[in-house]
Structures are given as structure tokens and as C-alpha cells.
Amino acid sequence: MNLKELSDYLGLSQTTVSRALNGYPEVSEKTRRRVMDAARQHDYLPDARAKRLATGRAMAIGHLLPVSKEHEMVNPIFSDFLAGAGKRYAENGFDLVLSVVEDKDEAETYRDLARRGAVDGVVVHGPRINDERIALLTELGLPFVVHGRSSEVSTDYNWIDVNNRRAFARATAFLLDLGHRRIALLNGLAGMDFAARRFKGYQDGLHAAGLDVDPDIVSHAEMTETYGYARTNALLDLDTPPTAIIISSIIPAIGARRALGDRGLTPGKDISIVIHDDDLSYFRNDGDVPTYTATRSSVRAAGEETADMLLAAIREPHQPPRQLLLEAELTVGQSTGAAPAVRQLLKEG
Amino acid sequence: MNLKELSDYLGLSQTTVSRALNGYPEVSEKTRRRVMDAARQHDYLPDARAKRLATGRAMAIGHLLPVSKEHEMVNPIFSDFLAGAGKRYAENGFDLVLSVVEDKDEAETYRDLARRGAVDGVVVHGPRINDERIALLTELGLPFVVHGRSSEVSTDYNWIDVNNRRAFARATAFLLDLGHRRIALLNGLAGMDFAARRFKGYQDGLHAAGLDVDPDIVSHAEMTETYGYARTNALLDLDTPPTAIIISSIIPAIGARRALGDRGLTPGKDISIVIHDDDLSYFRNDGDVPTYTATRSSVRAAGEETADMLLAAIREPHQPPRQLLLEAELTVGQSTGAAPAVRQLLKEG
DNA sequence: TTGAAAGCGCTACCAT
DNA sequence: ATGGTAGCGCTTTCAA
């Protein structure tokens, strides 16, 4: 059943039926009801292809995930972000187009997406320090929201991020409070913006206690299980090994735990581990017992918020960009339940 | 730049330009070259919306992920599957449309996708035992490939799956070889097809050694960290606790390890853990030291294979369905590198 | 409040 | 080997 058939059936013009279905005000209530009922009854849904061509909009949002640096993708809670965003898109009649692209093809992919009219906007994942994608998208005029931020980019753009710096400062302070003085950091890839902010937070925490960063116990790499395993072993082999480790993601933390197990060390007893997973989850050890708390619903909410931001940017192209900074809550001993993250708008200066 | 402008510029008809660009044989090589060069030079790409309407194809594949049972999504290596599939789609000019849907809305979502003409085919994730989606899609005439299988579905359909049963039989046999006689199983949700097959494999392993399944140490639930934590504690509280645990996914395994840590138990010393993550990765403990080996590239390859299967089904609608059963390789002590999964075609009888 | 008809930018049929 | 043109199924002026 298409529009023509439906309007023929109703004895109305395609125009009127289209207007009734799309909520235009000039249709009489009586007609609208008739049309809606008939549409439902006949299982009519407008052809997405025709609608897209006629309106000139793609009715789709692209999510682009750089593949050689897979932080975002391997993150177990990343999917919740997509779920949240996808829900909002669906509510607004948009589809979610997922592009997993090689780093080197990224610029080309954005260009293609824009030129082909395949999407109306994109979400940028895994931003690097001074990420060139922001300039590219601005130049292309393709609306976008960055999931994360990019330091050293001077222009204004839409982003939603978690306060990584503060989160890591807190994690560091927590371990210092427990008496640790030699705290290692297993961080993400050096070029990633979130990793830079997390390092700064770690540094903040140490400085506040009058301590300095020891580069020997700080590392940056892709967050794989292998990395966590090898790096933890290396740390334990040092002449003066750390007494605590802060790990940027749950994935390398698995490897770290295995490395400890190999040596008969018990996390929480022989050594402390604080894990901070990406984005909106916060991990901390409780009385020296490691705790993992994934605040999945808050990640979902962040996805929804991102979608709202992008849809608004598409609808009102001339509004100034928006920013949303989410706070991650330090949760203690919540290992058997999800602790809701405290989310608040904190526009950074 | 659109087709009309490009053809005007070249002094050719839209027809010829279109044919040249789409590789039709009746265009002279000279003309084709001219057209291709001009297209490249002017950054011309055909409008996806127009192309879709004109051809009647969506040039897109849907991946539908049920959200209340989040096995697929929380699986850290699931993203690799999408990456592999997405790559193939891109090579063939298709987009990947991701739909994260509530269980209850699933049927409706499929119907909508089909009626709107938003996708040309779908990949079904997280199949349940006797999954009703297979009948629905068959009825809708929407080409599909199931990532996994669905027992008790009698009709023939496209699927790609890993040999979960054999994998779990092997894991069980391995622990039995080490002398364990009381082996617990932390499995996925009871209704999930993969969980049923894994249970059967576990049972196979026990039976082969003349042992029976003790229901007290077998559990089925959504594979969360919380589940792994709570369930491991419950197991250890038993009068005769297990000496080994097989865990269906890396996520609950994190919780399991934490539970062990709480009690000062060291995995690999006080208790054995074998982890089997979803799909194409295989985990096993090495000399009683737990080992995690994610064969990410093989998961990617499985995604590619799935895409190929679906694209073929779309192009040749009347070919019989295909099936691909992948073997998961039992890897030992490969913790510092990825072990390639042995993949072979094993059409099951 | 309703309708007629001109696009949207392609593809593909039918000519030549 | 190339071109004219009628759609594809909608939306959106412009008229009534």
C-alpha cells in the first residue's frame, strides 16, 4: 500500500492524506481521523526512500567509529550509549547508520556521507587531542556532536563529555588517603583526548599531596587485555613496584588481575586497583577491595542526550553549539548493584 | 554537483553518464574514462536518496539487537563483528543501520523496516530457542542471516554460528583432565540458543567421564558482572563448593574474580576458572592459570562472512539458505597474543 | 479545508 | 554506443 493507493481508497488527494499523516494543522479533525484510521488499518507506512528524496533529508544519523583505535568499540558499555541514542532517533523518525572506519579513511567517509546525503548529522566518537575531524565537519557543514572533547581545538562545537580529569583526581586522592604513595597509571592511547584529561587528573591528585608523577609507572596504550597483563607484569618487576594501580578501562583490568593471579597476589590485599571505565561509569576499590560498578542507565541517558543535541542542531542550524559535561560519581562498595551516576550540567570555562 | 550538472558539463546525456558510472558494458571505454575523470574531479557522488528511490533498493542492511537481553551488546568483541560486516557492506555500497530494540517491539520493528523500505535485509542477533523472528522474517520476505542459530526451528534459513557445544565439551574435558570432579557452570539466559548449546556441551563433557550434571552448580542468567559476583559467592557458600567454574562470558567472569578476591582465593590456585566468551573467542586456563585470549580478527572475519552471506541472499533470492559453523579453537597460554580461531565449514547434519 | 501538479535526482526502458 | 523520457513515492508550492 502506497500513498496513492491509500488516497484513492479514501477518495482524497495525496496531498491531504500526506498532510493528515504528517500532522499539518490545516486538515480537519474529521479527515485526519479517517486518514489515520485507514493508514493503521492498511498497515501503511510511507516509503522511506521516497520521503527522503522528496524532503531532501536523509532521516538518518551517522555514528563513526575509528577502528584502529578501538577504545570506544571494545568498551562494554559503549553499546548502551548507542542504545540510548538510537531510541531517540527512532522516536524522531531517524535511523542510526553505523560506520566503522579505518583511521586513514575517516575524512573520506565523512565527505562521502555528506555528499551522498546519506545522513543529516554525525556523532564523532573517540576524539583525539586536536582532532582534525572537527574542522572537517565544520567545513562540510554537516551537523555533528562529539562524544568526548578535543583539546586544543579553538572553534566552538557541540560536545558531551564526562569530567575525566576530576574523576581521576578523585581516584588518585582516594588511594593517597589509603596511604599509597606509589600509584601507577595504566592509561589509554596517548593521542586520545580522554587519556590526556585522565592523566591530568592523576597529576592533579598527586600534586595536591605534594607528590610528582613518576613516568616509569605511567603508560599509554590501546586498552586491551594484553596491555593490562604485560604492563602489570612490568610494573611488578620494577625495583620499587607500585602499591596501587589505576586502570583506565575494564578490559586491561582483566589482564592486570590475571597478572596478579600469576604471582599469587590478591588485589585488595597485596595491591590496590582502581578501575575507571570509559565515559560515564566509575570504578573504585572499597576498603581495598576492588569494585566494579557499571552505571549502564546513565550511559544510556548520555546517548539520549547526545541524540537530542544533534537533532536540535539539525533542526536549528544557526543556534550556537552546546556543551554538556557529565560528572561521574565515585561509588563505593556498590558491587552488587548499579549506582546511578550524578549527572549535572557543568559548562566548563 | 548532481547528475544533470555533470552530464551537461560533459555534453552527454544523464543516461550515458549513469551507465558509465555504474559499470554498464555498453559504454565506450573512452567515454567511461571521461566520465569517471570528471566525476572524480568534481567530487561527484550520486545522491543516495535518489538512487534508492529509483532502484527500489534501500542499499542498507539492518542489524537488530534485542535490548532487554543484552548479551550481544555487552560483549566486548561484538563490535568486531559489526566492524567486519560493515566493511563488506561499504565495499558493496551498502550502509549499516543499527536498531537497538526492546524485546516487545521487535516484531514491529522488523515490519516497519520492511514496509518503509529502509533496509534490504537484516542480521538477527541473539537468537533464542525456537525464535519467532525467523518465521516472521520468512513471512515478510525480508532476507536475513541469523548470527547464531535457533534450535527447534524446522525451516531452513541462513545462519552463521560457532560450535558452542563442542567448545564447552572441550572446556569441561579439560577441567576433568586436571582432576576436577565438581565443575560449576555460569551460563547465559536460559532461553538463549547459545546457552542451551553450551549447556549441552558441558553435559557432554561430564557424561563422557561418567559424571552427571548437578543442577545446584549450574545457573542461567543475563551475563552481567553482578551475576558473576553473586553467583560465585553463592557457589562458594555451598556445603561442597565446586573446585572449578566455567563462565560463559568475560563480563560475569570479572565479577567472579572479584568474589574470589573478597575471600582471599586465587584463581588458578584455589580454584580453576575457564571462561568462554561469546562467538569466536575461546578462553581456557593454562596449567590452572586463567587465560584470556580474544581472537578479534576471527570475529571480524565472521562478520565479513555474515555480510557476504546476506548480500548473496539479497542478490539471489531463490538460492537455498546457507549455513556456516565455525570452530572455536582451544588456546592455551596465549595470553600475550591473539590466537587465530580455526574456522572451518562444518555443515551439521 | 482540499486538490493538481511540479519536482526531488536518480535508473532503466525504449528508441535510434 | 548514446539519448529521451517515464517513472520511483513522496512533499510542497500554488490554486481554488
Place of cell 494543522: A25
pLDDT at A119 over 50: yes
pLDDT for res B347? 20
Structure confidence by residue, pLDDT tens digits, B282-328 = 332 233 223 333 456 667 778 898 999 999 999 998 899 999 887 76
Higher confidence at residue B133 or residue A75? B133
Helices (H) and strands (E) in chain A, counts: 13, 10
pLDDT for res A282? 32
Structure confidence by residue, pLDDT tens digits, B135-144 = 999 999 999 9
% of chain A exceeding 90 in pLDDT: 53
pLDDT for res B295? 52
Q: Which nucleotides of D are covered by protein (CB under 7 A)?
A: 1-5, 7-13
% of chain B exceeding 70 in pLDDT: 82
Q: How far is the CA of B35 from the C1' of D14 (A)?
A: 39
Instruction: Output the pTM of the full model.
Output: 0.87
Interface residue B9 vs chain A (CB under 8 A): no
pLDDT for res B100? 84
The residue among B80, B101, B109, B116 with the most chain A CBs within 10 A of its CB, best to mutate, is B116
Strand order in the sheet with A144-147: A323-326, A158-162, A144-147, A121-125, A60-66, A95-101, B95-101, B60-66, B121-125, B144-147, B158-162, B323-326
Give me the mean pLDDT over the B184-202 stretch.
Answer: 94
The domains of chain A, with CATH numbers, are: 3-47 (1.10.260.40), 60-162+300-324 (3.40.50.2300), 164-298+331-348 (3.40.50.2300)
Cβ of residue A26 near strand C, that is under 7 Å?
A: yes
Structure confidence by residue, pLDDT tens digits, B6-46 = 999 999 999 999 999 999 998 899 999 999 999 999 999 99
Classify residue B1 by burial, with Cβ atoms within 10 Å: 0-12, 13-18, 19+. Answer: middle
Higher confidence at residue B273 or residue B143? B143
Query: Which stretch of A89-98, A225-234, B63-72, B135-144 has the lowest confidence by average pLDDT?
Result: B63-72
Strand partners, A220: A187
**Which residues of chain A make contact with B66, given a CB cutoff of 8 A?**
none
Please name the amino acid found at residue B84: G
Give me the mean pLDDT over the A183-191 stretch.
Answer: 92
Nearest Cα residue in chain B from A233: B336
pLDDT at B61 over 60: yes
pLDDT for res B338? 22
Query: Which stretch of A71-75, A245-249, A300-304, B270-274 has the lowest confidence by average pLDDT?
Result: A71-75
SS3 annotation, A63-110: EEEECCCCHHHHCCCHHHHHHHHHHHHHHCCCEEEEEEECHHHHHHHH
Torsion angle in degrees (nearest 10) through CA of A43, A49, A51, A57: 140
Residue A229 has its nearest CB partner, among B43, B267, B336, at B336
Query: CB B349: neighbour CB atoms within 10 A?
Result: 3
C-beta of residue B260 within 8 angstroms of C-beta of residue B271: yes
CB within 8 Å of B133: residues ≥ 6 apart? B106, B107, B110, B124, B127
Q: How far apart are the first and last CA of chain B?
A: 55
Average pLDDT over all residues of chain B: 81
pLDDT at A104 over 90: no
Structure confidence by residue, pLDDT tens digits, B152-170 = 888 899 999 888 898 888 8
